[in-house]
Structure 1
Amino acid sequence: MSNQDETPENRLRKELPEEVSAGAAEAAAAPAEQRTELSGRQRLVKGLWPPRVTRAQLIVALLLFGLGFGLAVQVASNSDGDSALRGARQEDLVRILDELDDRTQRLEDEKQGLEKQRDELENSSNQAEEARRQTVEKERQLGILAGTVAAQGPGITITIDDTKGTVEADMLLDAIQELRAAGAEAIQVNGVRVVAGTYLTDSGNSVSVDGNKIDAPYRFKVIGKPQDLEPALNIPGGVVQTLEKEQATVTIERSDKIVVDALRAAKRPDYARSSSQ
């Protein structure tokens, strides 16, 4: 057969390499579904699912979850703490602000007193005598705080009548802590001196203070500024309201002279020593 009898298709097949012809044959033999190109959305879904989570990503997710949970708890606790003040009367809020101002003023007065002592030591012509005088005064103050000496001064008397036997040790401890925060300098409960290491426990239907059992009515003798002590107990949601919810009766009396004469024996620490030794 002559070259003129060759068709264009036969000439093209002769010119193409064998591998091209084989590739074309395989492509022609592939199913129609495989020859169809994936759309952009299908490629995106295929890349995202199933998810490939690494260990680092899992740790970061757990940390973020813990942080979010902590923030939620903090916000909830702040909301609970603010609820009592949100429902308080205007005069109660004013009294709370006055109490905070008084505490700030007490701290400022204490700072000024310490600065005055420093100046007296620096400027005194007889520094040894001035240091001795301040040492005696500091010893007297520490004796009052430690309960080793009697004290007297203005303050309040608190009587808690618990006829139902519902007052517990933690309620009396709250009262002591609130009084200390309000500036109480000496406290005595039913003949037991309250000091820094005082602890309270429940003892049947009564309470024990430092191992000494006391019975109702519970009588507090407190030395401090009455204008600060009494409002601190009467704040909304405070000590008085808590005790009244337990059907206890609370009576507070102010006085220009409160005598705290219950004493504690001086105790030498077992382990603590002065750093100046």
Structure 2
Amino acid sequence: MLLALLGFTLVVQLRSNDADDGLAATRQEDLVRILSDLESEDSRLLAQIQELEQSKQQLNSEVGGREAAVAEAERRSQDLGLLAGTVVGRGPGLDITLSDVGASDVLNTVQELRGAGGEVMQLNGANDKAVRLVASSFFVDASGGGIIADGEHLSGPFHLLVIGPASTMSTALQIPGGVVASAKSDGGSVTMDSRSLVEVTAVRKAAALRYARPVS
């Protein structure tokens, strides 16, 4: 639109000059001066057009850059939220049932799953308590039965929901001398169901750090 407007202005100005009867009697040196002025105006307008085009490209680039930065920040925030346990997660994985096992068996299972690509986990007790498992999670045998997971008392049997590569995690748990074999030797059992969709709904409150600060 800007180019069309500027072109229209130049055409009108040239036609106006051509239509001016006074130009027929204008001296040659005056005509040269008028032509020079028109060429200078044309150059100035073309320079303005180039500046405006550069400004437009820069603005478009900056807008696109900001949008890309915001999208990347949101993605990173979601990923960190899943790792920290502050947001709900869903995806393919395993629904694991652990029966007649203790805290050490649960810990071994969680560690094996992490090593096999487990990304998001939730431990459910038979007493309708659920705990979102994160890197700092701990497990202790509770007096009278069950376990203490991150300060929450859970009674067995336990259901461990994990999002990740189901076949890889299942194989890792069933290696000779691994989690399944160890639980069986202790009188317990570990069974697994592969699921196309596992929903981890338990969440944790974001931790308020007292000492750690990011390095700028």
Q: TM-score, normalised by structure 1?
A: 0.52
- Where do 1:27-46 residues align within 5 Å? none
CA distance in structure 1 between the partners assigned to 2:179 and 2:88 by the alignment: 27
Shift of 1:176: 0.4
Shift of 1:170: 1.7
1:143 partner letter: G
2:178 partner letter: G
Counterpart selection for 2:147 from 207, 213, 227: 207
- Structure showing greater radius of gyration is 1
Can you list the C-alpha shifts for 1:51-74, whole angstroms capped at 9, x where unaligned?
xxxxxxxxxxxxxxxxxxxxxxxx
Is 1:217 aligned to residue 151 of structure 2?
no
Counterpart selection for 1:194 from 133, 154, 158: 133
Counterpart secondary structure, 1:129: helix
Counterpart selection for 1:145 from 83, 91, 109: 83
Counterpart secondary structure, 2:205: coil
- Where do 1:43-192 residues align within 5 Å? 125=61, 126-162=64-100, 167-190=101-124, 191-192=130-131
Structure scoring higher RCO (CA < 8 A, sep ≥ 6) equals 2
CA distance in structure 2 between the partners assigned to 1:138 and 1:250 by the alignment: 34
1:249 alignment partner in structure 2: 189
Shift of 1:161: 1.5
2:133 partner letter: V
CA distance in structure 2 between the partners assigned to 1:170 and 1:217 by the alignment: 14
2:19 alignment partner in structure 1: none
Structure 1 segments of 4+ aligned residues over 4 angstroms from their partners: none
The number of residue pairs the alignment matches comes to: 149
Counterpart secondary structure, 1:271: coil
Can you list the C-alpha shifts for 1:200-232, whole angstroms capped at 9, x where unaligned?
111122211001011110110011111111001
CA distance in structure 2 between the partners assigned to 1:127 and 1:199 by the alignment: 42
Shift of 1:274: 0.8
Q: TM-score, normalised by structure 2?
A: 0.67
Can you list the C-alpha shifts for 1:227-256, whole angstroms capped at 9, x where unaligned?
111001001110000000011122100010
CA distance in structure 1 between the partners assigned to 2:168 and 2:109 by the alignment: 14
What is the aligned-residue identity percentage?
A: 38
Which ranges in structure 1 are unaligned for 5 or more consecutive residues? 1-123
2:73 partner letter: T
1:55 alignment partner in structure 2: none
1:169 partner letter: A
CA distance in structure 1 between the partners assigned to 2:194 and 2:116 by the alignment: 15
2:31 alignment partner in structure 1: none
Which ranges in structure 2 are unaligned for 5 or more consecutive residues? 1-59, 125-129
CA distance in structure 1 between the partners assigned to 2:135 and 2:210 by the alignment: 16
* Cα RMSD (Å): 1.3
Counterpart secondary structure, 2:92: strand
Larger displacement relative to structure 2 (126-135 or 229-238): 126-135
2:114 partner letter: R
Shift of 1:132: 1.3
Shift of 1:128: 2.4
